Structure 1
Amino acid sequence: MTTLRFRSAAVRAALAALFIAAGVLVATDFAEARAGRSMSFGSRGTRTWSTPAPTPTAPTATPMQRSATPQSQMGQTAARAPGTQPGGFFNRGGFMGGLMGGLLGAGIFGLLMGSGFFSGLGSLSGILGLLLQVGLIFLVVRFVMGWLRSRNQPSYAGGPNPGVGGPGPMQRSALDDTPSPATGAGGAPGRFGFGGGLRGKPLQLAAGDFDTFERTLTEVQESYGRNDRATLARLTTPEMLGYLGEELDELARDGLENRLTDVKLLQGDLSEAWSEENRDYATVAMRYELKDAIFERATGRLVQGDADRPVQAIEFWTFTRERGGDWKLSAIQQGRV
């Protein structure tokens, strides 16, 4: 009887630890609220499912997780249409998602049946051993996924050019150079990822375009924080407005508001700029800071974040315009350093 009571207590303790760990994952995702909630979504024309070219600000970007653009026949996973749930740690498909799901499922099933991955839970050491094994498996899978991603990243010749750039944090790389199919928008050979099967013609940008990108970053975040959908409709494509509107609707249902203030671009540079038919695209890597906090609408109580302490983010923002029209935000992808 004593052994059975102890084993029941051990199972309850292990399940509690797993629920706490899951809560930490949810809290971590919730902490990075802001517009887009740290996801990668939107459209980049025919380059939607290709990785943006690396820059000094952000060497790589996370793959697109949600887009209305159908995926081309290039052996990649199917595109997500608007309204579907984005991928996440527990929603990843494919080999890695199945591997993690199988390992975690085996461990939890074993826990409930009285055995862990390699041994039973008849003692506290068994519980700690299970949690340690789950952690080790997570780290191994993260390492393998990072290695596979690194093999698929586009290589580029030439690094940062410290002698190029204009006023402010956004680098206006070699704006006066004549673009060519082999060089890209700034004339730096291979740096902006043109060629190599990517579609579209290289596009030359003006200094005013970079000013627009920086201003749009601030206006999108602050209008999102005010739930100002009219301004968001002016600054974003209909697809992006739909995604951001879904997030604002979810906050409203929960009686919350995400206040975003003091947005400041710290560093930025061009990744890619190209034209397709009568539409232009530009993807820019940006590192910026802002104050990001979530409050209860009814009471004004702080729920998440710090209203007085800025946090930083690194993202690729893609802008599009009809020829001769205004730039609008069409995609956000999370950057990695």
Structure 2
Amino acid sequence: MRFSQRTRGVVQAIAVVLALAIPFVLASSAADARAGGGFSSGSRGARTFSAPPSTSTAPGTAQPFNRTITQPGSPGIGAPSNVGGGFFNRSGRGLLGGLAAGFLGAGLLGMLFGGGMFSGIGGLSSILGLLLQIGLIVLVVRLAMSWWQRRQMTSAAYAGAPAGPAAQGGFGSAMGFGLGTGSAPLEILPADYETFERLLGEIQAAWSNEDVAKLHTLATPETVSYFTRDLEQNRARNVVNKVSDVKLLQGDLAEAWREGDTDYASVAMRYSLVDKTLERGSGRLVEGGEQPEEVTEVWTFVRPRGGNWELSAIQQTN
């Protein structure tokens, strides 16, 4: 059976789209669990690009942020996430990013269909070809921007800012929070640890219920913007993530400090939870299960002096 040149081009285009889409879909699926999605997201004020000290709960290192609005050298305290366009920003919406992605997508398809580098759009006469081109452009943009963000974050992360001494868990912190060394510039009291544990449960519950209004009372606008984006991606996949039985197993203070009238506390937390992703409507299990799993993360909380603590960042640990 012989195929025309155009048919072969369509098949080649489909193969390219699938090859680009599969890694992205797999990465998204693996990251769509629990609040924070397994990413390192948010801001730690002036210490965003400084590694929080290791603790007995998290003896390794916290991963650099791959989602943050804070620029190196700026404080970035809990600001919203709708960063301006710019000429080539990390969101991929800048002028150069949009034009480059568009020409790249058109050029790739143009070559696939036997045309020149810039003939991809003009040479497509079928709806299928147009849809393939749009899909390819979107995938190339997202993959390229993801790579660019990881490259920028990795190169800037942990450079030049002092990490401070490692905090040690104390007072039998096998269950709940240890009180650390007590040497932090900002004193964290037992009542603060109780608040951190309460926020852990309330944030996971609000995430599970897709209650964005409640999340706004528990986290900074930047952090809620990431939660909202992840929830929208779940809706696009026609799934809902349900988290239950959240229990803090161990936690201790990594560091606490003050910037002007703003207090920060980064705490390592090892907790267990039941994490299930279900198909909307039918309730069919898509990912996860009934078996509890353990997670170790570093959560950073922020408050104005005299105010209430809010979640400012979540970092995964190595």
- Fold match by TM threshold 0.5: yes
Inter-CA distance 322–41: structure 2 relative to 1 (3 Å threshold): same
State the shift of 1:25 in Å. Answer: 4.5
**1:117-266 alignment runs, 5 A limit:** 152=159, 161=168, 165-166=172-173, 168-175=175-182, 179=183, 185=184, 202-266=185-249
**What letter is aligned with 2:63?**
A
Cα deviation per residue 1:248-276 (whole Å; 9 max; x = unaligned)? 23433543321111222233222221112
CA distance in 2, matches of 1:165, 1:154: 31
Map 1:1-337 to 2 at 5 A: 16=15, 19=18, 22-33=21-32, 34-47=34-47, 49-56=48-55, 57=58, 58-67=60-69, 69=70, 71-72=71-72, 74=73, 82-83=81-82, 152=159, 161=168, 165-166=172-173, 168-175=175-182, 179=183, 185=184, 202-302=185-285, 304-329=286-311, 331-337=312-318
Matched residues in 1 for 2:49 and 2:166: separation? 21
Whether the aligned pair in 1 keeps the contact of 2:62 and 2:298 (CA below 8 Å) is: no
Task: Quickly say closer, same or farther: Cα 1:14–1:205, change in 2 above 3 A.
Answer: same
Contact 1:273 1:281 in 2 (8 A): yes
Tell me, in whole angstroms, the C-alpha distance in 2 between the residues paired with 1:291 and 1:285.
Answer: 20
**Which consecutive residues of structure 1, in runs of 5 or more, have no partner in the other structure?**
93-104, 114-143, 180-184, 186-201
Distance 1:242 1:151 in 2: 24
The change in CA–CA distance for 1:20 and 1:148 in structure 2 (over 3 A counts) is same
User: Shift in Å at residue 328 of structure 1?
Assistant: 0.9
The structural deviation recorded for 1:279 is: 1.8
| C-alpha RMSD of matched pairs (Å) | 4.8
Evaluate the alpha carbon distance shift between residue 169 and residue 13 of structure 1 in structure 2; reply closer, same or farther with a 3 A threshold: farther
Cα distance between partner residues in 2 of 1:150 and 1:328 = 23
Distance 1:39 1:167, change over 3 A: closer
- Report if the CA contact (8 A) 1:165-1:173 is conserved: no
Shift of 1:161: 4.2
Aligned to 1:101: none
Distance 1:310 1:296 in 2: 20
TM-score (norm 2): 0.63
Tell me the CA shift for residue 226 of structure 1: 0.9
**C-alpha contact 1:60 1:153 (8 A) present in aligned 2:** no
Residue 154 of structure 1: how far off its partner (Å): 6.7
Would the alpha carbon gap of residues 165 and 112 (structure 1) be closer, same or farther in structure 2, given more than 3 Å must change? farther
Compared CA separation, residues 300 and 24, structure 1 to 2 (3 A) = same
Q: Note if contact 1:42-1:239 (Cα within 8 Å) is conserved in structure 2.
A: yes
Question: Residue 169 of structure 1 contacts residue 267 of structure 1 at CA under 8 Å; is this kept in 2?
Answer: yes
Kept after mapping to 2: 8 A contact 1:40/1:65: yes
The alignment-based identity, stated in percent, is 33
Separation of aligned partners in 2, 1:232 and 1:167: 29
Report the CA distance shift for 1:316/1:145 in structure 2 as closer, same or farther (over 3 A).
same
